[in-house]
Structure 1
Amino acid sequence: MPYAAIDGQAIYYTDTGGSGPVLILAHGFLMDHEMFAPVTAQLRAAARVVVWDQRGFGRTRFDGRPFTFWDSARDCLALLDHLGVERAVVGGMSQGGFVALRVALTAPHRVRGLVLLDTEAGAFTAEERAENDEMCRRWLESGPVDELAGPVAAHIIDDPVRHPYWIGKWRRRPKELFAEPYRALATREDVTGRLTEIGCPALVVHGTGDVAIPLERARLLAAGLPGAADVVQVAGAHAAALTNPLPVASAIRAFLTRLER
């Protein structure tokens, strides 16, 4: 299996290969590289697609120590180094988008463009922090039991056909692994005021049914990025890239074509 030894972690990734532009994608909270399988299938002919598991998720071997999304951004850059890629289109969904923004702020010369899916530049409101802290407490105490996992799956995926698969994944992982990834999510800072530092082209795609990050926040993100146009709206909830991959892939493909001109 493909792993990269990065900062004490064994970062798992997949790489389609090919001669197209490199597109590296990071998943959302509680997801992993598999969430991008439908989009990757649509983009293989247009790009070399790399997807990777962040600390605490998927197949990545995580040391369990505290980290921030700035650390995750360095993980992404180190993975590009491991692959011998100098510049890439960097993207992600939700948490993965938080990481992509920090990659662009950390190493703008490495980023050809940004693909930002159902994400934002901000942080939790006080109300959101309180609600999610309680969810974290329950998860660490009892694990993803039905009365917790079901609503969380609906919040993220909103597709009952897919819920059992992802809930099964959550239940196979030690519940203790939830703690540090959640801490990174809950304590992230608002980088809205730094968006003007990001000059590369950017694509913002958002599910019209996303209740985890409302559409208005995606509009604020796009408005703050000098290289972004209007938000591309697609049907779907927070994980629209998983549940409605065709229009998401179409938007990404068009964006990549514009970058190549």
Structure 2
Amino acid sequence: MPIATVNDRPIFFADSGGDGPALLLGHGYFLDHSTFSPQAAMLAPEWRVITWDARGHGQTPDTEPGTSYTYWDQARDALGLLDHLGVERAVAGGLSQGGFTALRIALLAPERVAGLVLWDTEATPCDPVDKAGYGDMFAALREYGPIDDLTVPLSTQLLGESDLRDELRARWRAAAALPLGPAAHCLIERDDVSGRLNEITCPTLLMWGEHDVSLPRDRMDLLSERLPNASDVHVIRGAAHTPTLTHPEQVNPLLRQFLRTLA
């Protein structure tokens, strides 16, 4: 997997290559660029699919303990990766925290965003109840590590009843570190961009997993209501928080149809 030096930091990424229009996709928390492997396999070579490991995830290291950054900084990472690859304009997309980043990419550089694709994400800050729950989970993982008592329910929350849960838990056990430092602060202390959604005028496709307990449907409905050119929320039946991995047979046709309206 290639490395780009962006903002003086290494960013690991995957690039399907080719001459097609670019699709830049960011993954959710505790995941990595492979979140979009089914979409990359389906779209290439018609589309150039670029995915990357966000700070503290996959093969991209986090910043030093005691430092901090925001999803605005991660949006600048993504734009810097496009610069590194010589891509002037792309469709930006993301799942969960990848969606937080994609929204900020569109606000920072609207001229570079041809469209948005958002899965199971929101524009609002971390809900106080969610913040408390994340804090407890992060503290337990710091103390006990990726033990089954913690990672079995977490993998189910992300992937539902998918057989991919075993593979995800194995990756967590093998990881040099989990995103429990500055990345965790970035997640739970993110700012509110819901009041700026009217500024994002590009076409936007919205999808949400029917059984997502991490992110309630009403947060996606808010995106549909406030983004000027957003679709209705397409519900991915049977999916939890990561429909791109677990239910590509529903996600991929919607994605391909949307992208063809932009090409």
Question: Counterpart in 2 of 1:40?
Answer: 40
Q: 1:46 to 1:164 in 2, by over 3 A?
A: same
Structure 2 residue aligned with 1:57: 57
* Cα shift readout 1:135-188 (whole Å, capped 9, x = no counterpart): 111111111211111111111111341111111111222446422111100000
User: Structure 1's 219 and 105: CA in aligned 2 closer, same or farther, altered over 3 A?
Assistant: same
Stretch of structure 1 that moved more, 162-171 or 24-33: 162-171
- In 2, distance between residues paired with 1:159 and 1:49? 27
Aligned residue for 1:255? Answer: 258
**Alpha-carbon separation, structure 2, partners of 1:137 and 1:149:** 13
Contact conserved, 1:112 with 1:201, CA < 8 A, in 2? yes
5+ residue gaps, structure 2, are none
Q: Are 2:28 and 2:97, in contact at CA under 8 Å, matched by a contact in 1?
A: yes
Paired AA for residue 231 in structure 2: A
Q: Report the TM-score when normalising by structure 2.
A: 0.95
Select 1:240's aligned residue among 239, 243, 257.
243
Q: Pick closer, same or farther for the CA change 1:176–1:93 going to 2, 3 Å.
A: closer
Contact 1:159–1:243 under 8 Å retained in 2: no
Q: Is the 8 A contact 1:39 1:241 kept in 2?
A: yes
| Matched-pair identity in % | 43
Structure 1 counterpart of 2:169 = 167
C-alpha separation between the residues in 2 aligned to 1:89 and 1:238?
Answer: 22
Give structure 1 stretches of 5+ with no counterpart.
none
Aligned with 1:144 (options 146, 168, 172): 146
CA distance in 2 between counterparts of 1:160 and 1:201 reads 31
Answer whether contact 2:16 2:45 (CA < 8 A) is retained: no
Asked if residue 97 in structure 1 is aligned to residue 79 in structure 2, the reply is: no
Counterparts of 2:119 and 2:199 in 1: how far apart (Å)? 20
Correspondence 1:1-261 to 2 at 5 A? 1-64=1-64, 65-175=67-177, 177-235=179-237, 236-260=239-263
Q: What secondary structure, in the 3-state scheme, does the structure 1 residue paired with 2:126 have?
A: coil
Rounded to whole Å, the distance in 1 between the matches of 2:12 and 2:89 is 20
Quote the offset at 1:8 in angstroms: 2.7
CA contact (8 A) 1:8 1:63 kept: no
- Contact residue 10 and residue 62 of structure 1 kept, 8 A: no
Deviation at 1:61, TM superposition (A): 3.5
Is the contact made by 1:93 and 1:118 (CA closer than 8 Å) also made in structure 2? yes
Secondary structure of the corresponding residue to residue 35 of structure 1: helix
Amino acid at match of 1:238: H
- In the alignment, is the contact (CA less than 8 A) between 1:202 and 1:229 conserved in 2? yes
Deviation at 1:246, TM superposition (A): 2.0
Q: After TM superposition, which residue ranges in structure 1, 4 or more long, deviate above 4 angstroms?
A: none
Distance 1:127 1:63, change over 3 A: closer
Q: Measure the CA separation in 2 of the matches of 1:22 and 1:225.
A: 22
* Per-residue CA distance 1:33-60 (angstroms, 9 max, x = gap): 1111112111114311001000001112
Q: Is the 8 A contact 2:22 2:47 kept in 1?
A: yes
What secondary structure does 2:13 align onto? strand
The answer as to whether partners of 1:42 and 1:246 remain within 8 angstroms in 2 is no
Q: Cα deviation per residue 1:65-97 (whole Å; 9 max; x = unaligned)?
A: 421111100000000000000000000110000
Moved more, 72-81 or 59-68: 59-68
CA RMSD of the aligned region, Å?
Answer: 1.3
User: What is the aligned residue count?
Assistant: 260
